[in-house]
Amino acid sequence: PASDEYDLVRAWQKLNTQHGVALNICVAAALRRGIIDETEAGRLALPSANLQPGFTLSGLGALAEASLTCDRVVQF
Protein backbone atom coordinates (compact mmCIF):
# COMPACT_ATOMS: atom_id res chain seq x y z
CA PRO A 1 0.00 0.00 0.00
CA ALA A 2 0.93 3.63 -0.35
CA SER A 3 2.85 5.18 2.54
CA ASP A 4 -0.24 7.06 3.75
CA GLU A 5 -2.45 3.94 3.77
CA TYR A 6 -2.87 1.39 6.55
CA ASP A 7 -1.12 -1.90 5.76
CA LEU A 8 -3.87 -4.36 6.64
CA VAL A 9 -1.88 -7.46 5.64
CA ARG A 10 0.98 -6.50 7.94
CA ALA A 11 -1.51 -5.84 10.77
CA TRP A 12 -3.00 -9.34 10.37
CA GLN A 13 0.49 -10.85 10.30
CA LYS A 14 1.35 -9.00 13.51
CA LEU A 15 -1.81 -10.36 15.16
CA ASN A 16 -0.75 -13.85 14.08
CA THR A 17 2.79 -13.43 15.38
CA GLN A 18 1.93 -11.80 18.70
CA HIS A 19 -1.21 -13.74 19.64
CA GLY A 20 -1.15 -16.92 17.56
CA VAL A 21 -4.36 -16.06 15.71
CA ALA A 22 -4.86 -18.45 12.79
CA LEU A 23 -5.12 -16.62 9.48
CA ASN A 24 -7.17 -19.05 7.41
CA ILE A 25 -8.08 -17.99 3.89
CA CYS A 26 -10.88 -19.71 1.94
CA VAL A 27 -9.08 -21.64 -0.79
CA ALA A 28 -11.89 -21.18 -3.34
CA ALA A 29 -12.09 -17.42 -2.79
CA ALA A 30 -8.30 -17.12 -2.90
CA LEU A 31 -8.00 -19.02 -6.18
CA ARG A 32 -10.69 -16.85 -7.78
CA ARG A 33 -8.59 -13.83 -6.85
CA GLY A 34 -5.30 -15.32 -8.02
CA ILE A 35 -3.88 -15.98 -4.55
CA ILE A 36 -2.02 -19.29 -4.33
CA ASP A 37 0.27 -21.10 -1.91
CA GLU A 38 3.18 -23.39 -2.82
CA THR A 39 0.92 -26.45 -3.07
CA GLU A 40 -1.51 -24.77 -5.46
CA ALA A 41 1.35 -23.29 -7.49
CA GLY A 42 2.73 -26.79 -8.01
CA ARG A 43 -0.67 -28.24 -8.82
CA LEU A 44 -1.40 -25.49 -11.35
CA ALA A 45 2.16 -25.57 -12.78
CA LEU A 46 2.77 -21.93 -11.88
CA PRO A 47 6.28 -20.62 -11.20
CA SER A 48 5.67 -19.26 -7.70
CA ALA A 49 3.21 -18.67 -4.88
CA ASN A 50 1.97 -15.29 -3.68
CA LEU A 51 0.26 -16.09 -0.37
CA GLN A 52 1.79 -13.88 2.31
CA PRO A 53 3.59 -15.51 5.28
CA GLY A 54 1.34 -16.35 8.22
CA PHE A 55 -1.74 -17.01 6.07
CA THR A 56 -3.01 -20.52 5.29
CA LEU A 57 -5.36 -21.66 2.54
CA SER A 58 -8.10 -23.81 4.03
CA GLY A 59 -11.48 -25.22 3.11
CA LEU A 60 -14.88 -25.62 4.66
CA GLY A 61 -13.73 -28.66 6.62
CA ALA A 62 -11.22 -26.54 8.53
CA LEU A 63 -13.91 -23.93 9.23
CA ALA A 64 -16.33 -26.57 10.50
CA GLU A 65 -13.67 -28.16 12.71
CA ALA A 66 -12.60 -24.81 14.15
CA SER A 67 -16.23 -23.87 14.81
CA LEU A 68 -16.56 -26.86 17.12
CA THR A 69 -13.76 -25.74 19.41
CA CYS A 70 -13.99 -21.94 19.44
CA ASP A 71 -16.07 -19.49 21.44
CA ARG A 72 -16.60 -17.08 18.51
CA VAL A 73 -16.13 -16.77 14.76
CA VAL A 74 -15.20 -13.52 13.05
CA GLN A 75 -16.09 -13.43 9.38
CA PHE A 76 -16.02 -10.56 6.90
The domains found in the chain, sorted by start residue, are 8-68 (3.40.1260.10)
More confident residue, 33 or 3: 33
Largest CA distance in the chain: 40
* Nearest in space to 17 (alpha carbons), one of 59, 73, 55: 55
- Catalytic-residue membership of 70: no
The torsion defined by the Cα of 44, 58, 36 and 54, in degrees rounded to 10, comes to -140
Supply the pLDDT for residue 12: 96
Residue 31: which residues within 8 A CB-CB, separation 6 or more?
Answer: 40
Report how far residue 76's alpha carbon sits from residue 70's, in angstroms, rounded to the nearest whole number. 17
Question: Active-site residue among 21, 23, 25, 26?
Answer: 26
Q: What is the mean pLDDT of residues 50-64?
A: 94
For residue 17, pLDDT over 90 is answered with yes
